[in-house]
């Protein structure tokens, strides 16, 4: 009985530590993606751009995920099909958010990365805006809420 108990305890310990180390690695990758995106704050918008001299919204996400050793599609439309669908009320840092240029059309044309969540009424995301370049915005503002299309949770 004693040997069996110790064996089960050891197996339980191994399972717990392997799960938590996976969680730690996932958290570190999410932080790398967010910190990389934030390092581009102020970079001007440039359609198709992938550098500090200029980048578009999907390029910002592409480069930021690359920094964490992760690959995602290059365009916002393809990125909007990548990962698991999540509701707007389920968002957490590292999730991707997608928008349409016109609220009455549901065609994805813009993408961002969730950076902070402080309840359902305050969700910050970083993106490359055509007018402001790379900035963090609040999803709860009327403009972004009205053109929001969907959210995805990539596998980290």
- Length in residues, the chain: 156
Concerning whether 62 is annotated as a catalytic residue, the answer is: no
Could you say which of 19, 57, 62, 143 is catalytic? 57
Strand spans (E) along the chain: 50-51, 54-55, 84-86, 96-100, 108-117, 123-129, 133-138, 148-153
Q: How far apart are CA 83 and CA 33, in angstroms?
A: 15
Could you say which of 19, 62, 127, 143 is catalytic? 127
Residue with structure tokens 């044309």?
109
Could you say which of 19, 62, 110, 143 is catalytic? 110
Concerning whether 143 is annotated as a catalytic residue, the answer is: no
Q: How far is CA 107 from CA 83, 85, 88, 96, in A?
A: 18, 16, 17, 16
Who's near 89: CB < 8 A, 6+ residues apart? 120
Residues catalogued as catalytic:
57, 110, 127
């Amino acid at each position: 009985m004693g040997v069996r108990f110790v064996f089960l305890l050891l197996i339980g310990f191994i399972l717990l530590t392997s799960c938590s180390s996976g969680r730690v690695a996932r958290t570190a990758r999410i932080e790398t993606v967010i910190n990389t995106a934030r390092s581009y704050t102020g970079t001007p918008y440039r359609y198709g751009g992938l550098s500090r001299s200029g980048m578009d919204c999907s390029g910002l996400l592409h480069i930021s995920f690359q920094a964490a050793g992760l690959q995602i599609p290059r365009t916002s439309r393809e990125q909007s099909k990548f990962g698991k669908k999540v509701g707007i009320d389920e968002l957490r840092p590292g999730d991707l958010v997608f928008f349409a240029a016109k609220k009455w059309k549901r065609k994805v044309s813009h993408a961002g990365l969730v950076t902070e969540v402080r309840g359902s009424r305050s969700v910050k995301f970083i993106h490359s805006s055509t007018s402001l370049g790379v900035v963090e915005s609040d999803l709860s503002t009327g403009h972004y809420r009205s053109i929001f299309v969907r959210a995805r949770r990539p596998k980290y």
